[in-house]
A and B are shown apart, each in its own frame.
Chain A
Amino acid sequence: MAADLDHQCDLVVTALEAVADRLAEEKSTLTELDSAIGDADHGANMNRGFQAALEQVSESDADDPADLVKTIGVALVSEVGGASGPLYGGSIMSASQELEGGITADSSVAFAETYLETVESRGKASVGDKTMIDALTPAVHTYKKSIEVDDTEPLEALAKAVDAARRGVEFTTPIRAKKGRASYLGWRSVGHQDPGATSTFMILEELLAVAAEELDGDLEGEVDAEADVDPAELEGESDESGPTGETGGGGSEAESPSEGDD
């Protein structure tokens, strides 16, 4: 068990590194999206936060994935700023307790659900408000249903979730923002992709890549990997797609919440 948990901790670190690298690469893309309908800081905020998380995790002596994931959340809360800090970081902190005892298919579903619930309660946004919720909700719902109802292997479930998130990001483009800084633009927010939904998708896509590497296409057992992955970043869920991440448009930042961020 201990060896297992050590391995899961390594996976959490691997996933965090993948996400941090991706967000560093996409910094200007996210900022561009956020310039269109927000306050143009989403790329910089997410990059700053995840670099800080890398640093704090490297200094951590946590030997269980739940504690390690919590460390990531704490770092994001302190360093991201704006609405994305409490939404991403606070939700990871809350959801991390679901991983106590290790990452399994079941605990990763619980992590994803708690993460979504925390984002909803803190941000008070709903599907259709043009926020990260529009990518997160379909991803979490798809992941849960795939695992619990369809008995899908975790890697495939995660792939489906990433795909659902991608479609959620696309859905944000043609709708009007009702939450976040973008909502101040009213109808002018239509036609721009939401930055928060976009960063949520990018993170999930990286979790999938790490899970695929770990599970090597074959499920079973090592569900942990997947779960791990998830935790490490904010949500454990999502669906597939590979790296492409692109989407483009602009958005509002990960903040669905009530307003925009800063």
Chain B
Amino acid sequence: MFEVDTLSFLNKAVKGTALVVDDTRINRLLLGKILGDIGYQVVFAENGQEAVELFQQQDIDIVFMDVLMPVMDGYQATAEIKRLSTPKFTPVLFVTAQNEVDALVKCIACGGDDILFKPVHQAVLKAKALGFERTKAIYSEISRLHNQLQEEEELAERVFSSAVANSHCADQELLVSLDSASTFSGDVVFAEYRPNGDIHVLLGDFTGHGLRAAIGAMPVADIFRGMTRKGYTGEAILRQINRRLHRLLPTGMFMAGIFVELSLQQKSLTVWNGGMPELVVYNTQQQGIRERLRSESLPLGIQNEVELKLKTLPWLPYDHVVLLSDGVTEALSASGEMFGEQRLVNAIANKAAHPSFIASIQHELQLFCMGTEQLDDISMVEIPDLLNRPNQQSTDIYKTGPLVAGQWSWSLKLDATSLKKFTPIPLLMTTLQELSVHQTDRNILFTVVSELFNNAFEHGVLGLDSAIKTSASGFEEYYRKRKHRAKQLTDGAVSIAIEFDGKQARQFTIKVADSGNGFEASLAAEKSAKQQYSGRGLRLVESLCESMEFNLQGNCVTAVYRCQH
């Protein structure tokens, strides 16, 4: 049985072209005859130099190499042939009479694949040749699979980029640097406008990197963009992302991230940090780091419901906000040392010599790493001093749409329990969109209604005094109190009613009432009451509307907005 198998193996035909390299004519003829008999086309070279030249000119499948030859010996020629044949596999077999250990080791060390001893036995030679054909087949299969994998990864990368990476709507406001360790980055950056021009930014870092890490990015992109455009708040968006990732990702995979809401009207920054390095706010007027916001929450996707700790702070002129992934501080130098926080702080302090904080950090990183292999994705986002820049986007993002006619009204009343759970603005925005209200009008209505609603909720229902917000420490105090009181809330209500008259005046009448005590009657009665309106919000509403009036008690406001489109 065994014998039959051996015979059938040796009866297989070998294929291809063999190159025989030997300086002795008789050796060439002998080996050539055997190779010809077992099925090879044979070509000859008299020394290493000739062999290399022939190898470059012809397709050679296997090489039989003598050791000692004039001009160029077998070791040198083999090294050269191996260099030329990569990434293909061309077996080189040394044919030698020597059997000293040193010489044998040298044959393999210079790139040879096997050794045959003179005199060469036909069956041994054929068996070895067939063995190498097997190895070659494995080699080419691996190389085919490798190419296929690369092609698929490139295709996936293109799909992924168009869905995730290359479409941050608000990215012209930001400086973004994404430097991934492989084709796919596990880090993602999204930026999008809310309907009132506020900007949401999210820097996310998925567990690990590569394709594994990138799969969570698509749903995050969809939720982030869709909900931001509809006017949802950061907290609602993060909750939704958390739920989706929890459902989608296997245990052990999650997304650390930093989220920032930049409110141009409130002049505030609302930040959430879940498992990322500190967010840094650097003020170029004060020439120093003004705020560092440490991670206070779990990353997203680990638990179904997660406690999100969002912090609101004032946004000052000359503020530059820097968001980083851990790839920055954990970048390694050639000696295995980590970049660390001190070097990062130094890079931030040395910004003056560079056009941006990112450029300064990149410069430091480059000097430190000196071409060491990058192990993790390195991502940075810088929000420049937007408050000192004329804001042009407000006109750019509006598109034209069909005109609305007809009449309709929409109203909603929320009690304390509902107010704790629900923000009515996104619902209203969806309604306005369905009713084909032009985007410009929708964005203005978003601002008007959200300002009036926040005013009713914060001052009317929660009884907060906006005078606290005038100082920086008071600002934080205000948002702490807001959170605390909202949690404790048991009584109170807010109602919103919107009427649209598209036939006559083409105007919206917005009425927002709350259960609070309102302004003091004496103040509201006077014309100068306008100056007493809490905060910038109401002044903004007044500037956008035809009219805005409070009732005598001050807990019900009616604003009239006339359509521009």
- To the question of whether A and B form a pair in one complex, the answer is no
Interface of A toward B, CB cutoff 8 Å? none
